[in-house]
Structure 1
Amino acid sequence: MSARRTHKQGRAGGGRIDRQKTVRFIFDGVSYSGHPGDTLASAMLANGVTLLGRSFKYHRPRGLLSAGVDEPNALVTILRGEAREPNIPATMVEIHDGLTVVSQNRSPSLAWDFHALNQLGGKLLAAGFYYKTFMGPAIGPLKGTRFWMFCEHFIRRAAGLGRAGTVAENIRYERMNAFCDVLVVGSGPAGLTAARAASDSGANVILAELDPHFGGSANWSDEEIDMKPAADWAKGIVEELRGRQNVRLLPRTTVWGYYDGNTLAAIERVSDHKPAPAKGEPRHRYWTIRARKVVLATGALERPLVFPGNDRPGVMLADAARRYANEFGVLPGERIALFTNNDSAYQAALALKNAGAQIAAIVDVRTEPSEAVRALAQAAGAELLAGHAVIGTEGAKALSSVTVQHFDADGKRLSGATRAIQADCLLASGGWSPAIHLASQAGAKPEWDSRKQAFLPPQPTQEWLGAGAFTGSFSTTGAIAEGHAAGVSAAGGKAAPFDLPGVQPEPLDPDPAPIFEIKAEGKSFVDFQHDVTADDVRLAHREGFVSVEHLKRYTTLGMATDQGKSSNVPGLAIMADALGKPIPEVGTTRFRPPFSAVSIGSIAGERYGDIKPDRLTPMHDWHVEHGATLYSAGLWHRPQIYGLPGETVEQAYVREVKASRSTAGIVDVSTLGKIAVQGPDAAEFLDRVYTNLFSTLPVGKARYGLMLREDGLAFDDGTTWRLGANDFLMTTTTANAGKVMQHLEYFLDVIWPELRVTVTSVTDQWAGAAIGGPKAREILASCVEGTAVDNAALPFMGIVHGKIAGVPVMICRLSFSGEMAFEVYCGSGFGTHVWQALIEAGKPFGLVPYGLEALGTMRIEKGHVTGAEIDGRTTARDLHLDWMLSKKKPFIGSAMMDREGLAEPTRLQLVGIVALDNRPLNGGAHIVEELDQDNPHGSIGHVTACCYSPMLGKYIALALVKRGSALLGTRAFVSDPLRKRFGPVEIVSNHFFDPEGSRMHG
């Protein structure tokens, strides 16, 4: 048995471990042994290893500080073959046979770290050193550069803690969605009682606990301080809940995010504690939980005290030491001293005495501890030094002694002679901070309690209740009572009497003295993970960083995986002292998710590789069977070309364009966004959304519309069809369908909730085909039943209803290609049937299907705009669409569209470009007035879309060019240095082909 293992069995001897079995694991290449139930932290402690990490900035030696998720020092990397997972707290790693772990942030080893030389940097490495050191102009041999450019490589190599893996993992992850009446987060006495009470009321309950075992510390309470009844009670409740059908228990599950609508995110560590997952078992499971009510029983985290040398290996939180003894049967030291400002450390002292440790002394900053804690100190065999403070620690890479001195808590002054106490472990307790992270994420500021010297949870802004230490109730009996009441309330039931025989209220005072820092010579650490000292906090104040948010970012206090778990309140107390203000006036930073680290694999779940969903049109299989080359357009798979054997892409689309313009062509347009806008105020709503009028649109007609953003820039274009007095069908560009839907919903929900309008996405309900060309009307006339399609029945922008091959269809005469064209819509389930009927009807007329390349070519020839030109920076005037800006009504963006900057004559304007050397052009290529291939410069615009024009026999493009309208007919150059394309171009109108529109109107 290890010398560090306690000799007791059972609850007081390490109830979580199985001493009858041995587990072997590797840390930094050395083999160690432990017992099932051990964490890596407890097993290393049992093996006498106290040095487990190096600090981020100074590379100081660090040991364990805590026993849970708040561990800032002992962060390790887990190796699984060649895969590696960094920055895992050793306190959260359950050991198993074959576990391989390496330490971090050291070179070449923990014991001998070359970067420990950083400690010699002293004040040079104080808060903000990188801002000050690397941003000024360089001198000497670096003249003409900046010092940062020289140092950047070395700084980036030193940044961070663990090194991320680059090898793909052969590991499964899962995602789950769950719904419940009551989610209980935390399974201490409060959480267990809440879960049972909610379950008793008939609610469906989920109980999530981040540890492997339910019951919290009560499950392993020390029988020698009369807490055995609480432990027995906790075990009984857990067994009772296991047998209930309306309760789901989730051990090893961290609820890490609280979002709107009572939606919470959690990660379940399903098989991390096993040598290998069972067949089909995931490593992690990501839970999205939607709860009607949430009970937050997340407990509290013990705070460290700030004093010189408080980061030396062997300095630990008092409750962490108690947990190691009670839960894992491990003593953190043989001769232990304690330093505290509150009563809870005395319980830890007695527990450790009962576990076999020698308690050298209890150092208490308070001059008059209560009789109850004096009795505990006497029972622990400890010398009580009231009105004293620890002012330093000694030891090379482990603690050997502590130095104490008389302390006046009222004046916060040290006086008198110093005294050394021999100890290999110092336990510190600075009071308790309720773990309010989830409540803060839910949307409100925490509230300061001066008596408890802690931030308590805010008033709920969502449907949650708090219980136990989370609310500041640090007694077992108080937590049980609060948990019962919260569970009943969350389930909407009535409170029933409950009893906990044998558990008496603790006689201890949980409220600490308002002392967090002992000002003495030496480095006193506030944030152990980021090497933030008390001097760093005061330096930030002197340099003007008085906001806690600025303090956090300037010093890195409470960032990364710490998220203020241990460092937040001490850091704020020091800042408050520097400002001369009380802590509540200084405030606290808002906690943000995740509460603790979350594996990226669990977030992705089963979705890896190309995680975008595949959207296929109803005619997709027909396109594949008929030789279409498909590519992704947004999320949709659309035909690019229907190539013949041996054809290039250009040859194929040139053939398709020529056929479409000479006879007829057909293209699948099912991907266009389609939104049903319905209700008594639908016309008024469209008038506000579009720049042009829609309330005057007759039933049975369509109109082209343009939308602006609120800032006056172009947002989207499309046609909207009036199907009835209060019934419109809006079409949008394929790429912007989702954004337009969000845009409409936002304005209806937030800006104009009084409008009686509903908007519904119907993109997937309609299949669409556009048929255009000189023969298009004849082809339709040969297959459409129930309606005529001549000019009288179906004028430009007109709508008719009929049937094709027995299927009801809706037809609108409009054109994107510039030819006489018609869009035919039917129910998506009949899309292929109607498509094939149109193909058969068109065969005698030479109808050809065409893809996006031909579609793009014909729109460029006509000068029509798409998302390439409506790119979030252009206005209606830039695109020559100012004729659509109504002067009769206001609309979204009308108040901002005439800003001086948006009417500037030098803005980029839409033009056409013709390559005078008849060579292909490239999208994104710059347009310049003077060509300089060696030093490209002087861009006046760029190409947005380009193609070979079969109608002109030239390579053409659309472009956005400064003062474009004024440059029509002039020459410039294309400059594309990345693709080595340079050459002369002519700037022309964007309407290359049939500018009068005679072909479209027939």
Structure 2
Amino acid sequence: MSPRRATSGGLIDRSRSVRFSFDGQDFAGHPGDTLASALLANGVSLFGRSFKYHRPRGVLGAGVDEPNALVTVLRGEAREPNVQATMLEIHDGLKVVSQNRFPSLGFDVGALNQLGGKLLGAGFYYKTFMGPVFGPLKGTRFWMFCEHFIRRAAGLGKAGVAPDPSRYERMNAFCDVLVVGSGPAGLIAARAASQNGARVILAEQDARLGGSANWSGASIDAQPSTEWAAGMVRELSAMPNVTLLPRTTVWGYYDGNTMAALERVADHKAKARPGEPRQRHWTIRAGRVVLATGALERPLVFPGNDRPGVMLASAAERYAGEYGVLPGDKVAVFTNNDAAYRSALALREAGCRVVAIIDPRETISEQARALAVRTGAEILTGRAVTGTEGGKTISGVRMQVFDAASGAVSGDPRTIEADCLLMSGGWSPVINLASQAGAKAEWSERLQAFLPPKDASGWVGAGAFNGAFTLAEALAEGLAAGGKSGSETPDVAGDELEVAPAHVLEIEAAGKAFVDFQHDVTADDVRLAHREGFQSVEHLKRYTTLGMATDQGKTSNVSGLAIMANALGRQIPEVGTTRFRPPFAPVTIGALAAERYGEIRPERVTPMHDWHLARGATMYSAGLWHRTMIYGLPGETVEQAYVREAKTTRETAGIADVSTLGKIMVQGSDAANFLDRVYTNMFSTLPVGKARYGLMLREDGLVLDDGTTWRLGEQDFLMTTTTANAGKVMQHLEYMLDVVWPDLKVQLTSVTDQWAGASIAGPRARDILAACVTGTEVDNETLPFMGIVYGDIAGAPVMICRLSFSGELAYEVYSGAGHGTHVWEALIAGGKPYGLVPYGLEALGTMRIEKGHVTGAEIDGRVTARDLHLDWMLSKKKPFVGSMMMDREGLVAPDRLQLVGIVSLDNRPLNGGAHIVEELDRDNPHGSIGHMTAACYSPVFGRHIGLALVKGGKDRRGTRAFISDPLRKRFGPVEIVSHHFYDPEGKRMHG
């Protein structure tokens, strides 16, 4: 028999044993045990060490509110830290280790931090590490000296670096009613809703539906039997319109009743079934949400309240009732409300000796006194615990007379021998999800707790969540939440016990009294924050770290607020409360990623992607797109490949995949008017069957994007954008239509993925196209520059526009995406007699630099049309987006960065990002007048050239400067020239 296991009772399976290890020592438990209950049954009282002082800590709670018993689970080489022992079900082979200790849990050298005393109080890191260092390190900040050691000490558990072998899943679900919590209110709400024909999902964070054996946290007074709960669960399981999700924590409440939940599918198993995930992440969209999340018991704040063996009364009751575990042989109870009296009686009936019940109230209710008498305990009202005794576990409790009016203790202390102290500071409804939904908490003076607001949208509360702490109230509210009348409340037996207000939360006496157990925040820390001016609850939280640990202040928030309110001389509602944020409970990162592990970046490929790969293309990312860099031949370098491709294109012909260009259909009776407003130049005068180059500004007058727009019909336009800015331009256009000009009759449709595009460029481009296309001529008269024609290539319909990005005679051929590879291969075959080569972005970039065309490298969000020498596109006949702001003084200054060409005078490579300087200083680079935006080796000129943005660039043409690139150790002379290197008159592309 385990040292603390009761001879009978509990819902565990005593017929079987489960073997597990904790810190390398083997233990045994039973199916149904959590790690916490199994270790308690084996007589283990020390579970961990606190964050700052490394104080010994035992189990405080029995569920999701546990701040102390955090462990690391080992799964092969993988580690999962900061797992609550109270939520971890044991299984054969489970291996866990304690955290935040060295060299062992029993002997931790970090406990020396306790000698620091007040030096390690609230805000010590702000005060200590910001000062200067004296001596040999004089002149440096103390933080810089200590940072390495501080970061090594930070945190509780240590994350692993080995890949997680577990499998995770995602699930999307839709329901009419989502019920969160399976206490009495949740069960009855789910049944009522399902009987009304609603599709219902019932989520419960614990392994057992129906709540714990004693129903603590669901309805803390009158309790229905476990048989009643089991019957309800069986009834719901048989309903086809009900989905039951045990071991599922609803952790986030988002817009539109979208709920995030984590299901622990196989955490309690020694080995998952084939294909079964370890955890499953649910996104649930509900028509209505019923929050039956219950309430959590609060600890009391007094010296020594963190010693192992001190725990919440409801937790001890649950360990006895659900797991058959006795928290101690001699139990003392310290409570400021009636609920703990029932817990005391439950422990007495389970086999514990209750030696004393200590209550700071002078008088207690008759119901509470009757329960106390049945425990056989000494009843000590008007008394308060002022300390605990013992080493790494409790051996005694000190108490004194307490004056509720003044909050002071007096008289000689008395010590009561006890190996377990149960405390209860009242109950806090779990309103976290409602707070996430935007609800502002309301303070209840009667219950001394924050309650959800009375008016809610999309959700309804029931049971202890609403402060309804009697069974009759819980069942009535559950029925109403499920859509049935309270007159149908079932007759469920249970004693009614009054919940008295829990006004007393702190006992001021000598010694460390902890408010936040995990972060070692004491009552003195809260008062220190007040003295130092941190009086807002948000400032208090951040200065002291109160409520910022993994438990998110579930046990500490109200006590901290009460102490701050007392220091301010105000009431708790005047001080307020911080807003709860998701997640409600810790969520595994693997579950959030689910199947999206490894390379999870979205990828986009063109219809011809496989063709490129099969021809040896080297790909790289352009935003989300995979685009061809080069089609390298064996033994070629990148530079040799793109020089060959660009040179061949200029001499004969080349073909490039341009499917990635953004393509937006702009349609409607006001389409032309809309384009006039968003472009700097005129589009309403554009004839049908023609294209025009357009420039788009932001509202602040800076350049947003450029591209061509084709008029396909009187009310139909096809706008093209740069690859990188397609999404940004679409958002800009939609904003203008939705917010600025909602009266315009215009429809926008992104068709980027619907079209495959190929650009044929070079002197023989027209010959190749003529050999491939049918149904139209492509001569200069039929298809002039910026003209559009329609035809067929190899039986596939195509649309052809004559425009050029390379500076050569060029055409863009568009087909449906499904025909993309077919048309591409037909063009390749038709161009073979003419020496056609496919070319990638490196060659395309080389030709565009030679021509002086701008891309995203130059349109960086800081340039104007004038900076790029595109002021000829600024219409003087109409207003347009950005026209009111583009002439601001700073945007027309003569020393602005302007686009220029750069030629390397030492004919060594140039690099994008390198600075341009007037005077070269290798040892102290300074005096930048601009920077390179793009660079290449030009096969036309046989030189290394590039584009740059340089201060007053237009006036510097023909002058010399220097490249200063200290990171790549590249320095050398350059000449600043016009950005139009190649065919500035445009004869080749217009020919």
Tell me the TM-score normalized by structure 2.
Answer: 0.95
- Matched residue, 1:542: 531
CA deviation vs aligned residue, 1:496-518 (integer Å, no higher than 9, x gap): 963422324x5323352322222
Return 289-298 or 151-160, whichever deviates more. Answer: 289-298
CA deviation vs aligned residue, 1:704-732 (integer Å, no higher than 9, x gap): 33334455443333222233333332222
Q: Is the counterpart of residue 498 in structure 1 residue 494 in structure 2?
A: no
Q: Following TM superposition, by how much is the alpha carbon of 1:195 offset from its aligned partner in structure 2, in angstroms?
A: 1.7
Q: Following TM superposition, by how much is the alpha carbon of 1:905 offset from its aligned partner in structure 2, in angstroms?
A: 4.8
Contact 1:617 1:670 survives alignment (8 Å)? yes
- Matched residue, 1:820: 809
CA deviation vs aligned residue, 1:171-220 (integer Å, no higher than 9, x gap): 21222222222222211112212222222122222221111110013576
Structure 1's 820 and 599: CA in aligned 2 closer, same or farther, altered over 3 A?
same
Structure 1's 554 and 946: CA in aligned 2 closer, same or farther, altered over 3 A?
same
Classify the secondary structure of the residue corresponding to 1:349.
helix
CA deviation vs aligned residue, 1:800-831 (integer Å, no higher than 9, x gap): 33333332222222221122222221111111
Residues 714-793 of structure 1: matches in 2 within 5 Å?
A: 714-749=703-738, 752-793=741-782
Q: Is the counterpart of residue 597 in structure 1 residue 592 in structure 2?
A: no
What letter is aligned with 1:501?
D
- Matched residue, 2:422: 427
What letter is aligned with 2:515?
V
- Matched residue, 2:163: 168
Structure 1's 20 and 141: CA in aligned 2 closer, same or farther, altered over 3 A?
same
- Matched residue, 2:394: 399
Classify the secondary structure of the residue corresponding to 1:715.
strand
C-alpha distance in 2, partners of 1:228/1:585? 35
Residues 624-773 of structure 1: matches in 2 within 5 Å?
A: 624-749=613-738, 752-773=741-762
Q: Following TM superposition, by how much is the alpha carbon of 1:926 offset from its aligned partner in structure 2, in angstroms?
A: 3.0
Return 951-960 or 982-991, whichever deviates more. Answer: 982-991
Q: Following TM superposition, by how much is the alpha carbon of 1:898 offset from its aligned partner in structure 2, in angstroms?
A: 5.1
Q: Is the counterpart of residue 568 in structure 1 residue 557 in structure 2?
A: yes
C-alpha distance in 2, partners of 1:495/1:683? 60
- Matched residue, 1:53: 48
C-alpha distance in 1, partners of 2:777/2:561? 79
Q: Following TM superposition, by how much is the alpha carbon of 1:413 offset from its aligned partner in structure 2, in angstroms?
A: 2.8
Q: Is the counterpart of residue 40 in structure 1 residue 35 in structure 2?
A: yes
Structure 1's 479 and 882: CA in aligned 2 closer, same or farther, altered over 3 A?
farther
Q: Is the counterpart of residue 154 in structure 1 residue 149 in structure 2?
A: yes
Contact 1:440 1:458 survives alignment (8 Å)? no
CA deviation vs aligned residue, 1:637-680 (integer Å, no higher than 9, x gap): 22222223332221221121112122222111111122223334
What letter is aligned with 1:14?
G
> Which of 348, 358, 361 matches 1:363?
358
- Matched residue, 2:5: 5
CA deviation vs aligned residue, 1:532-590 (integer Å, no higher than 9, x gap): 11222222222222322222222111113122211112112222222333322322222
- Matched residue, 2:84: 89
Q: Following TM superposition, by how much is the alpha carbon of 1:65 offset from its aligned partner in structure 2, in angstroms?
A: 0.9
Return 789-798 or 860-869, whichever deviates more. Answer: 789-798
Contact 1:366 1:386 survives alignment (8 Å)? yes
C-alpha distance in 1, partners of 2:438/2:683? 41
Contact 1:811 1:822 survives alignment (8 Å)? yes
Q: Is the counterpart of residue 258 in structure 1 residue 248 in structure 2?
A: no
CA deviation vs aligned residue, 1:135-194 (integer Å, no higher than 9, x gap): 122222321211111111111111111110011122212222222222222111122122
C-alpha distance in 2, partners of 1:906/1:656? 38
What letter is aligned with 2:4?
R
Q: Is the counterpart of residue 232 in structure 1 residue 227 in structure 2?
A: yes
What letter is aligned with 1:726?
Q
C-alpha distance in 2, partners of 1:610/1:414? 62
Contact 1:262 1:462 survives alignment (8 Å)? no
Residues 888-967 of structure 1: matches in 2 within 5 Å?
A: 891-894=880-883, 897=886, 901-903=890-892, 905-967=894-956
Structure 1's 21 and 785: CA in aligned 2 closer, same or farther, altered over 3 A?
same
- Matched residue, 1:322: 317
Contact 1:233 1:500 survives alignment (8 Å)? no
C-alpha distance in 2, partners of 1:789/1:561? 69
Classify the secondary structure of the residue corresponding to 1:615.
coil
Contact 1:769 1:823 survives alignment (8 Å)? yes
Structure 1's 844 and 604: CA in aligned 2 closer, same or farther, altered over 3 A?
same
C-alpha distance in 1, partners of 2:529/2:73? 36
Structure 1's 102 and 808: CA in aligned 2 closer, same or farther, altered over 3 A?
same
C-alpha distance in 2, partners of 1:759/1:551? 50
C-alpha distance in 2, partners of 1:750/1:569? 44
Structure 1's 501 and 643: CA in aligned 2 closer, same or farther, altered over 3 A?
same
CA deviation vs aligned residue, 1:5-34 (integer Å, no higher than 9, x gap): 1223xxxx111x111211121111111111
- Matched residue, 2:243: 248
CA deviation vs aligned residue, 1:462-489 (integer Å, no higher than 9, x gap): 522222222222222222222222122x
C-alpha distance in 1, partners of 2:181/2:866? 59
Return 785-794 or 256-265, whichever deviates more. Answer: 785-794
- Matched residue, 2:985: 996
Return 162-171 or 883-892, whichever deviates more. Answer: 883-892
- Matched residue, 1:117: 112
Return 451-460 or 205-214, whichever deviates more. Answer: 451-460
Contact 1:221 1:326 survives alignment (8 Å)? no
What letter is aligned with 1:465?
V
Contact 1:444 1:459 survives alignment (8 Å)? no
- Matched residue, 1:14: 10
C-alpha distance in 2, partners of 1:197/1:44? 40
Classify the secondary structure of the residue corresponding to 1:781.
helix
Structure 1's 448 and 935: CA in aligned 2 closer, same or farther, altered over 3 A?
same
Contact 1:220 1:326 survives alignment (8 Å)? no
What letter is aligned with 1:954?
R
> Which of 610, 613, 616 matches 1:621?
610
Contact 2:902 2:974 survives alignment (8 Å)? yes
Structure 1's 993 and 64: CA in aligned 2 closer, same or farther, altered over 3 A?
same
Q: Following TM superposition, by how much is the alpha carbon of 1:907 offset from its aligned partner in structure 2, in angstroms?
A: 4.3
C-alpha distance in 2, partners of 1:679/1:756? 6
* Unpaired runs of at least 5, structure 2: none
Among the aligned pairs, what percent are the same residue? 75
- Matched residue, 2:963: 974
* Unpaired runs of at least 5, structure 1: 489-493
C-alpha distance in 1, partners of 2:840/2:955? 35
What letter is aligned with 1:706?
L
Return 146-155 or 429-438, whichever deviates more. Answer: 429-438
What letter is aligned with 1:558?
G
What letter is aligned with 2:238?
G
- Matched residue, 2:464: 469
What letter is aligned with 2:861?
G
Residues 853-868 of structure 1: matches in 2 within 5 Å?
A: 853-868=842-857
Structure 1's 47 and 852: CA in aligned 2 closer, same or farther, altered over 3 A?
same
- Matched residue, 1:196: 191
C-alpha distance in 2, partners of 1:109/1:150? 28
- Matched residue, 1:491: none
Structure 1's 221 and 160: CA in aligned 2 closer, same or farther, altered over 3 A?
closer
Number of residue pairs matched? 989
Residues 490-529 of structure 1: matches in 2 within 5 Å?
A: 495=485, 498-504=488-494, 506-529=495-518
C-alpha distance in 1, partners of 2:491/2:783? 86
Contact 1:722 1:729 survives alignment (8 Å)? yes
- Matched residue, 1:305: 300
Return 58-67 or 891-900, whichever deviates more. Answer: 891-900
Return 909-918 or 393-402, whichever deviates more. Answer: 909-918
Classify the secondary structure of the residue corresponding to 1:576.
helix
